[in-house]
Amino acid sequence: MGPRLRGDDNMVMRQYVTGPLTVFGLAVAALTCLADQASKLYLLFVFDLGARGSVSVTPFIDFVLTRNTGISYGLFQSQGALGQWVLLAIKLLAVVALWLWLARSHSRLAALSLGLIIGGALGNAIDRLAYGWVADFVLFHVSTANWRFYWYVFNLADVAIVAGVLGLLYESLFAGDAAKAP
C-alpha cells in the first residue's frame, strides 16, 4: 500500500487540478462531449448514415460517414490496434494538460475555449475507444461550373476544438489578460 497523502499534500494536489473557473470549463466540456456524442449516435444508429451514403443538407453541406483512423484532417492514419491506442493515449495526455491549464485560467473566455477543446477531444476519444475510428460526417463543399472545393469531413467535436483554439487565439492577441498556458 502506498503512502497516504497528508492534508497539506492533498491541498497542493487539489490546487493543480482546480481553479476558479474549472467547474465552468468542465461543464462546457461535458456539454460539448454530450452534444458531439448525441449527434454521432443519432446519425450512426437512428438515421443510419452509413447505409444512406451521401445526404444533401444544403447546397454546400452534405452528411457523409467517414471513418477517420487518424487525427485532424486524416493525418497519421493508423489501421492497427497499437496505433489506435497510441493516438488515444496522446489525446488523453493532451486532455490532462488542457485541464491543468484550465485550473490556472482566470478568464471566462479561456475557460470556455479550453472546455470546448477538452469536450471535443473527449468526444473523439470516445469514438476511438468504442469503434477504433472517429466518426466524421459533415462535408462542406462549394461547386461552380468551373471550380470545385471540398473541405475535409468533420464532426461537432472538431468544430468545438477549432472554436476553442480561435477563442484562445483571440484572447492572447486582443484581450487584456492573455491566456497563458502553465
Give the catalytic positions in this structure. Answer: 136, 158
The three cell numbers locating residue 88: 488515444
Residues 180, 82: Cα–Cα separation, whole Å: 34
Alpha-carbon distance of 62 to 40, in angstroms, equals 15
What angle, 0 to 180 degrees and rounded to 10, lies between the N-to-C axes of helices 7-17 and 81-103? 100
Q: Give the position of cell 493532451.
A: 94
| Of 124, 110, 103, nearest in space to 167 by CA | 110
Q: How far apart are CA 75 and CA 73, in angstroms?
A: 6
Burial grade of 165 (CB within 10 A; 0-12, 13-18, 19 or more): middle
